[in-house]
Amino acid sequence: MAALRKLVWIEHDLFRGSGCSECAWVFNPSGAPTGKSFNEAVRNFESQRDKEFTLHVCADHPRAKSQSTKHDVKQDWEKLYRAAIIESDRSKLLQRIEDAEAAILERSRSLSKSPANSGKEQEAIARALHILSLLRAKK
Ligand SMILES: [Zn+2]
Domain containing residue 111: 76-138
Whether 93 and 51 share a structural domain: no
Contacts of 59 (CB under 8 A, 6+ apart): 1, 23
**Domain presence at residue 65:** no
What was the pLDDT predicted at 84?
93
Contact 129, 104 (CB under 8 A): yes
Residues 87 and 123 both lie in one domain = yes
76-114 pLDDT, tens digit each: 898 999 999 999 888 899 999 999 999 999 888 888 877
Residue 2 lies in a domain: no
Number of domain units in the chain: 2
Q: How far is the CA of 127 from the centre of ligand 1 (A)?
A: 26
| CA of residue 131 to ligand 1 center, whole Å | 24
Tell me the CA–centroid distance for residue 37 and ligand 1, in Å. 31
Residue 120 resides in a domain = yes
Angle (deg, nearest 10), helices 76-86 and 119-138: 30
The DSSP bridge partners found for residue 16 are: 11
Distance 64 CA to ligand 1 centre (A): 13
Decide if 37 is inside a domain.
yes
Considering the domain architecture, whether residues 50 and 80 belong to the same structural domain is answered as: no
**Whether the predicted model's global pTM rises above the 0.75 cut:** no
Q: Name the DSSP class of 64.
A: P
pLDDT digits (tens, 9 = 90+) for 6-62: 998 887 766 778 899 889 999 987 777 778 888 888 888 889 899 999 999 999 998
Q: What angle do the packed helices 90-113 and 76-86 form, to 10 degrees? A: 160
